[in-house]
Amino acid sequence: MSRNQQIAKMIGRKSSGHIQSDNQNMIINGAMQVAQRLTQGTTYVDSTTANLFAIDRFYFAGNPTDTMRISRSTDTPGGGFGYSLLMTSKAATTFTGTQYAVVGHRIEAQNLVHVGFGTAAAQPLICSFYIKCSVTGSIPFTIMNHNDTQIFTANCTINNANAWEYKTISVPARTTGTWNGAGVTTRGLKIQWYTGLGPDHSDGGTSTDGGWNTSYDYAVPGHINVCSTNAATLYITGVQLQVGTQATAFQHRTFGEERQSCQRYYQRYSNFANYAGLALGSNWSATNGNCPFFLESAMRAPPGVEYSDLAHFSLGGRYSAGGSGAPTSLHNDGYSGGNNLDLGYARGGGMTTTSIYLLEFVNSTAGVSWLAFNAEI
Amino acid sequence: MIEEENNRTYKLYKIRGGAIGGAEVIGENYSFPFDSANTDYIEYQKWIAAGNTPEPADSVGD
């Protein structure tokens, strides 16, 4: 018995030679608990542009666009799960050439150092999840590195339509290729379910069920395209990726833990009361100024700024500066880590240089007005 | 390799001192700073490399 196995036995945890910490799941929000973008009166997001999110940390993208609608469902397999990700196809789309539709999850590179991919010390992985689909057949499942040059493919086979199934997919250790690692805060690895894939990425002949390739083959021939059936549904929850060869029970985390982890990548602040103040700013011109904005926690990278209709915001002068009006833009003028962001604003004019202005929500309908910071990978 | 389709168009924005600090995505109520770790900036750089040009920033009032 190896030392690792001895230790695993002492702590009462199954092991196949790899010690797994209590924080074994590398997936954030695998139980779909956090959906910051869906809690403000919005119940779904359509795939109208690339790299969108509905449920935190689970992106979706496609070409052609607008093939999918992503929402959150309370249909679950039980087992302590409250939610699932629901993909509904918007049409019977035919995928040609390199066209695709995908739902996935990216992991930050520095959180994968212990996996050791690209080195002789690489560890095997196992991915487990619950899935329910209205279409039977094999859905392409992939794992890729940061630049899509290392590609693992597997069949995620739906045996029975509209029934929850538990899947485990074994990923052999990958000792070759370039993988981002220690200290890298950008893309490291992604897992994906293709809901549509054209023949140029599935007929190359190098992909196998459970193997790696470097030829941009993302699926084993014979796969299904869920989005080729109009109104098809695909539910996923309980997603877990861990080191080892044996999947363990899903690691349930508290909502607070998951929310805090998600906020490294996205934070949304909403209006729950009319005239809810956001920040006090100082003008450096008649059209522009800056506010110190305090984030709930540090973000992965200098974030982009998202906002609801700018008519929901007001910039009002204080101390006789006078006048109020909606800003014409909001932006990140400086961020170097921590929770203090320099939020820039612009207004068409009429403001007073060096005067103090209050940035606040004005819309009285709770949930309509929001300001968010986006550092997704 | 699958390249994510980028149908966005951009308009630059200025920060204190008048330097260009980032870009607004036209029609999306979204802006992002020019920082190499920002995913939207990475996509913007690809868009520029493809021969596209953003709209200029608004002038700063006195």
- Of the partner residues A63, A148, A288, the one whose CB lies closest to the CB of residue B60: A288
Which range of A184-193, A321-330, A366-375 scores highest in mean pLDDT? It is A184-193
Provide mean pLDDT across the span A27-50: 88
Cβ-Cβ contacts under 8 Å, A50 against chain B: 4-6, 43
The per-residue pLDDT for A203 is 72
B21 touches chain A (CB under 8 A): yes
Three-state secondary-structure class, residue A109: helix
Distance CA A325, CA A369 (A): 15
Enter the DSSP assignment of B55. Answer: B
Distance CA A178, CA A181 (A): 9
Per-residue exposure over A32-58, b if at least 16 CB sit within 10 Å of its own CB, e if not? bbbbbbbebeeeebbbebbbbbbbbbb
In the predicted structure, residue A321 carries a pLDDT above the cut 80? no
- Of the partner residues A331, A353, A375, the one whose CB lies closest to the CB of residue B21: A331
Give whole-number Cα distances, A110 to A113, A115, A116, A233, A300, in Å: 6, 10, 11, 34, 11
Contact A286, A356 (CB under 8 A): no
pLDDT in tens, B7-50: 899 999 999 988 999 999 999 999 999 999 999 999 999 999 99
DSSP β-bridge partners for residue A73: A84
Phi-psi region of A75 (alpha: psi -120 to 50; beta: other; left: phi over 0): beta
Using alpha carbons only, give the angle A313, A376, B8 rounded to the nearest 5 degrees.
70
Contact A330, A343 (CB under 8 A): yes
**Is the bond into A77 cis (omega within 30 degrees of 0)?**
no
Residue A160, C-beta contacts closer than 8 angstroms, at least 6 positions apart: A136
Q: Which structure tokens are listed for A357? A: 């202005």
Q: B31–A331: do the CB atoms touch at under 8 Å?
A: yes
Chains A, B: CB contacts within 8 A come to 114
A353 touches chain B (CB under 8 A): yes
Q: A331–B13: do the CB atoms touch at under 8 Å?
A: yes
Q: Which structure tokens are listed for A274? A: 């009319």
The per-residue pLDDT for A16 is 42
The ipTM, to two decimals, is: 0.95
In the predicted structure, residue A12 carries a pLDDT above the cut 70? no
B1 touches chain A (CB under 8 A): yes
